[in-house]
């Protein structure tokens, strides 16, 4: 079997995560990398022994690779992803899908027109704890999912990219961070269609975290960094969402509590409960929680490679259409916060 030829656009932290995973596969050739920063693309090329190093992503797209990973900021996703499909490549695009659902719909249409896969990098689906929750849901131990409370709170702004500039990122603590939890809860619930959303948001910077901001950030900062939301879905499932870059607890604090008709799940640390013969019992004894967050990209990229090879998409992979629903819900949460009322979620037709 010939090696799958892949390319990675964006050689920052996430691009290097993808490169590390691809480099571990015997049947994958990292054919090219691209980054607008010439020094960085040279340094990363040396580290991963990649000969073709492009400072213009269009050069990489022109190679007609089997799979292209897009690991850039959201403001370039639409152009790069559509360009990859036009060149005949399959695409793994990092989350969020785009700055908004209108851009995301163009990407999904381009994928379907080209008959190519659009996979979106919601790697939390591949964490060991998530896999355990999914398994116990599927075997009926938790029953039908009724509701959930999810949160993703960081102790600082992700200054390594301009996530705090709406024109670049599409949004702050929601679109750049808590969108992971939005996808995860919808996926665990079986991807129900979200119906309505209500949210409140605030910008706390520079009253907090100003000391760590890079030069020029204070003038450019225009996104939310604290948010609460409530979502109602088809079939009766609902969930609440909390996200922040202003958490005073150290590190990244994320988890969910999901209540089912027979049990309950807490993600981090993993706790699984079920009711049996009138008694509440723990189900998680001896259950592995590996891989953790940092290691979860490897199995996700393995499934992406296999999907390109076989044409069969494993159920853990986030598809373009699923990511478009997530993006439409994110758009609705932003609209609700602006208008101060509950709004309908409008998923674009594709």
pLDDT in tens, the chain (350 residues): 689 999 999 999 999 999 999 999 999 999 999 999 999 999 999 999 999 999 999 999 999 999 999 999 999 999 999 999 999 999 999 999 999 999 999 999 999 999 999 999 999 999 999 999 999 999 999 999 999 999 999 999 999 999 999 999 999 999 999 999 999 999 999 999 999 999 999 999 999 999 999 999 999 999 999 999 999 999 999 999 999 999 999 999 999 999 999 999 999 999 999 999 999 999 999 999 999 998 999 999 999 999 999 999 999 999 999 999 999 999 999 999 999 999 999 999 99
Is the previous residue joined to 228 through a cis bond, with omega within 30 degrees of 0?
Answer: no
Task: With H, G, I as helix, E, B as strand and everything else as coil, classify residue 215.
Answer: coil
Instruction: Determine the pLDDT at residue 1.
Output: 67
Report the 10 Å Cβ neighbour count for 269. Answer: 9
Instruction: Determine the pLDDT at residue 158.
Output: 96
Contacts of residue 252, defined as CB under 8 A and 6 or more positions apart, other chains included, come to 152, 153, 154, 155, 293
CB 334 within 8 A of CB 326: no
Closest alpha carbon to 118 in 149, 142, 152, 95: 95
Instruction: Determine the pLDDT at residue 186.
Output: 98
Task: With H, G, I as helix, E, B as strand and everything else as coil, classify residue 20.
Answer: helix
Helices 13-23 and 297-310 sit at what angle, rounded to 10 degrees?
A: 60
Largest distance between two CA atoms of the chain: 64
Report the 10 Å Cβ neighbour count for 42. Answer: 15
Helix segments in 275-347, DSSP class H: 297-310, 320-339
d(CA 304, CA 58): 22
Map out the domains of the chain with their CATH numbers: 4-123+300-315 (3.40.50.720), 125-292+324-344 (3.30.360.10)
């Amino acid at each position: 079997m010939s090696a799958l030829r892949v390319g990675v656009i964006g050689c920052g932290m996430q691009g290097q995560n993808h490169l590390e995973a691809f480099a571990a596969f015997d049947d994958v050739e990292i054919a090219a990398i691209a980054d607008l920063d010439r020094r960085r693309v040279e340094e990363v090329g040396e580290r991963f022994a990649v000969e073709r190093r492009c400072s213009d992503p269009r050069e990489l797209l022109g190679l007609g690779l089997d799979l292209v990973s897009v690991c850039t900021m959201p403001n370039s996703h639409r152009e790069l992803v559509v360009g990859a499909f036009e060149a005949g490549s399959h695409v793994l695009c990092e989350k969020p899908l785009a700055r908004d659902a209108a851009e995301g719909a163009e990407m999904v249409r381009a994928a379907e027109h080209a008959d190519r896969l659009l996979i979106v990098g919601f790697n939390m689906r591949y964490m060991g704890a998530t896999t355990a929750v999914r398994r116990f849901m599927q075997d009926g131990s938790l029953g039908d999912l009724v509701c959930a409370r999810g949160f993703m709170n960081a102790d600082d702004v992700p200054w390594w990219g301009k996530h705090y500039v709406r024109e670049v990122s599409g949004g702050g603590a929601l679109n750049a961070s808590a969108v992971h939890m939005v996808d995860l809860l919808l996926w665990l619930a079986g991807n129900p269609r979200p119906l309505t959303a209500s949210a409140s948001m605030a910008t706390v910077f520079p009253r907090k975290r100003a000391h760590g901001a890079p030069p020029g950030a204070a003038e450019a900062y225009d996104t939310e960094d604290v948010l609460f939301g409530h979502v109602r879905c088809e079939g009766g499932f609902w969930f609440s969402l909390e996200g922040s870059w202003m958490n005073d607890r150290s590190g990244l604090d994320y988890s969910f509590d999901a209540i089912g008709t027979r049990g309950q799940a807490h993600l981090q640390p993993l706790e699984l409960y079920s009711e049996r013969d009138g008694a509440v019992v723990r189900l998680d004894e001896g259950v592995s929680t590996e891989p953790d967050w940092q290691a979860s990209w490897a199995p996700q990229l393995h499934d992406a490679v296999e999907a390109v090879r076989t044409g069969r998409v494993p159920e853990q992979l986030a598809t373009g259409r699923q990511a478009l629903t997530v993006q439409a819900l994110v758009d609705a949460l932003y609209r609700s916060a602006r208008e101060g009322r509950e709004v309908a979620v409008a998923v674009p037709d594709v």
